[in-house]
A = this chain, B = another copy of it.
Amino acid sequence: MRILMVGFGVVGQSFAELIMNEAKKLDHDYGLRPRIVGVVDKHGAVVVPDGIDIPKLLESKRISGTMKGEGDWEYHEGVSALDVISDLDCEVMIETTPTELSKGEPGLSHVRAALGAGRHVICTNKGPLAIAMPALMELAHHNDVIFKFSGTVGGGTPVLDFAKKCLEGSRIKSISAILNGTSNYILSKMASEGKPMKDALAEAQKLGYAEADPTYDIGGFDTACKLVITSNYVLGTSLSIKDVNITGITGVTSEDIQRAAQKGNVIKLIGRVGSGARVSPEEIPLTHPLNVSGTFNAILFETDSAGDITLVGKGAGGKETASSVLRDLIEIRRAFAR
């Protein structure tokens, strides 16, 4: 299966490494022989119709930060992703450029172009989905291609597929979830060590759990994106991020956390859909299944007949998210085979 990768950061590189290491297993178990025929990042593009030499590609990126390498492939400096998407023969595009929430770009244009050109798409970029998921689903349907985005929610934890594949026959009445590891890390540290928010945030930044500008995470926007994607996929809603009532954790004080603790509670940043969609800090009991610590994510499905079911996992990480991309690819391969 010929793959074009748009974006080649941590997730993209981890994916390339994963399919290289698992090549035998993938062929044996799923008849899947992935071949990366093109890679575009913000600097330029590499195109090799017979399949790129993955070790050399990773080495080049590691040493120079670009894919220029040592010249046994053609490197097209400054070429745009849209040009490659329209020109390159392939079956699947994997979109891993960074999330942007005002217009969802450039990911949104990439996904639109690829779906429109009849490519299956795997996307780990939340922007296009937070902005225009219903339209993209429709576009994929119209072009009879598969559009998957497991890596957008829960990193390597198969949140979306779980709800679709494992809860058949039950109705999901509501979803409540901790979907942002950064916020959860900060709130956990504030609770366990009595730290004020600014110290916990600084520590998270030092450990690489939070960005220099942490607004996207601690402002609740990342949680809102993931909530929109989960709700649309699992409950069949047609939300965009504008439909979510969002409150981040910046207003949570050490005193709030101590007061909650005295009642046997913790404060968590929770996204919730059922009647309406919102993200806000909430007090939950210490014994609640969503009370996970550190950078964990947790998502609770309230069902009519199977009870409340919670999935807990590491919500981020390049290697983990790459495993979600691979699962999506296996699903595309299987649909092909039918």
> Residues of A at under 8 Å CB distance from B?
18, 22, 26, 30, 155-158, 161-162, 165-170, 287, 289, 292-294, 296, 303, 305-314, 317, 319-320, 322-324, 326-327, 329-331
Contact = CB atoms under 8 A, between A and B. Distances in A.
A314 B324 contact: no
Given A287-B293, A289-B296, A306 B157 contact: yes
A312 B313 contact: no
Contacts of A155: 307
Nearest to A162: B166
A309 B306 contact: no
A319 B294 contact: no
Given A22-B169, A166-B161, A311 B314 contact: no
Nearest to A192: B287
Contacts of A308: 313-314
A161 B26 CA distance: 21
A87 to B, nearest CB: 30
B323 A313 contact: no
B306 A323 contact: yes
B293 A306 contact: no
A165 B165 contact: yes
A303 B319 CA distance: 11
A168 B294 contact: no
